[in-house]
């Protein structure tokens, strides 16, 4: 019971925001033409579940999932290589520094021009945006591993691959996972941004279509759907992080 109460209390700000949303629109402080009441949005949300919402959601999550998985694999590999091998760092570091501050939505016209209007352009856009946080977090974490651990591993006869797998990765894992969490959030932002412009299905496309038709309540309902999916994805990943890093807590307790 205490756990349930703590969970409800944690999300009290969201409940207050929902009540404020309903109150300001019902009171007429904000025009319903700009912001429909939350109750209307919830009615339209129920209606969306009987439409093509599942098809659009599936298309969006497939694109985002493929791009994020590729970005995680490539980002961890590149980050470790940059941290361990000077030639790779010299080659890739200037590129990372140049791309990191760039607004990734600015790449949408380029992906259209180079790759076309299909799924590949949207996957590429999300991949580029999600890649950089993983690379940077992996690189910084791997470079920050205590040299004493590396010397000890070499002294015990560990090879480079074993050092990467048994020493560097476990020590760098918390920061790597935080970078992946950042990329997870970015994937939803870039997914919707790309689909608003270059898609014929997906949640972003649905939001754009409903907005052009003037059905603002349904448009906000679609926004709520993708927001909830992103929120749940983040919460599930946090639980995954806690489970993966449980060994660190156990190790700390053992040392204490």
Residue 210 covered by a domain? yes
Cα–Cα distance, 12 to 15 (Å, whole number): 5
Please state the rounded mean pLDDT for residues 215-228.
89
How do residues 94-129 score in pLDDT, each as one tens digit? 888 777 777 777 777 777 777 877 788 888 889 988
Cα–Cα distance, 192 to 14 (Å, whole number): 22
Output the pLDDT for position 4.
52
98: domain CATH number is 1.10.3720.10
Q: How confident is the model at residue 70 (pLDDT cuts 50, 70, 90)?
A: very high
**Closest C-alpha to 37, from 11, 13, 15, 19:** 19
How do residues 138-168 score in pLDDT, each as one tens digit? 999 988 877 777 778 777 777 777 777 778 8
Output the pLDDT for position 8.
64
Residue 22 covered by a domain? no
69 HSE (CA, 13 A, CB side): 6
16 HSE (CA, 13 A, CB side): 6
Residue 251 covered by a domain? no
Residue 234 covered by a domain? yes
Cα–Cα distance, 36 to 43 (Å, whole number): 11
Output the pLDDT for position 256.
39
Residue 46 covered by a domain? no
pLDDT of 6 > 80? The answer is no
pLDDT of 5 > 70? The answer is no
Cα–Cα distance, 218 to 45 (Å, whole number): 7
Residue 188 covered by a domain? yes
Residue 53 covered by a domain? no
In the chain, % of residues over pLDDT 70: 92
Residue 119 covered by a domain? yes
The torsion region of residue 164 among left (phi > 0), alpha (psi -120 to 50) and beta comes to: alpha
Q: How far is CA 92 from the centre of its chain?
A: 23
**Domain count within the chain:** 1
Output the pLDDT for position 68.
95
Alpha-helical (H) ranges within the chain are: 2-10, 12-26, 38-48, 53-84, 86-99, 108-115, 119-143, 147-155, 160-163, 169-197, 203-212, 216-244, 246-255
Q: Give me the domain span that covers residue 92.
A: 62-246
231 HSE (CA, 13 A, CB side): 8
Output the pLDDT for position 248.
63
């Amino acid at each position: 019971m205490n756990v349930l109460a703590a969970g409800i209390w944690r999300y009290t700000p969201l409940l207050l925001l929902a009540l404020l949303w309903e109150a300001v629109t019902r009171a007429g402080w904000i025009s319903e033409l700009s912001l429909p009441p939350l109750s209307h949005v919830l009615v339209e949300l129920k209606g969306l579940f009987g439409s093509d919402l599942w098809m659009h959601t599936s298309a969006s999550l497939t694109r985002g999932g493929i791009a994020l998985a590729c970005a995680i694999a490539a980002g961890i590999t590149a980050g470790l290589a940059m941290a361990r091998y000077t030639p790779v760092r010299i080659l890739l570091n200037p590129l990372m520094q140049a791309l990191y501050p760039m607004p990734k939505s600015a790449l949408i016209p380029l992906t259209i021009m180079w790759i076309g209007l299909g799924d590949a352009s949207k996957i590429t856009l999300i991949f580029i945006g999600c890649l950089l946080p993983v690379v940077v977090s992996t690189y910084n974490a791997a470079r920050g591993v205590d040299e004493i651990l590396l010397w000890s591993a070499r002294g015990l006869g560990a090879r480079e691959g074993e050092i990467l797998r048994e020493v560097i990765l476990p020590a760098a894992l918390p920061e790597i996972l935080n970078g992946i969490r950042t990329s997870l959030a970015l994937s939803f932002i870039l997914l919707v941004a790309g689909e608003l412009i270059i898609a014929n299905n997906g949640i972003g496309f649905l939001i754009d279509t409903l907005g052009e038709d003037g059905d603002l309540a349904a448009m906000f309902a679609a926004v709520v759907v993708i927001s909830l999916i992103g929120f749940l994805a983040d919460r599930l990943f946090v639980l995954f992080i806690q489970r993966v890093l449980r060994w660190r807590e156990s190790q700390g307790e053992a040392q204490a």
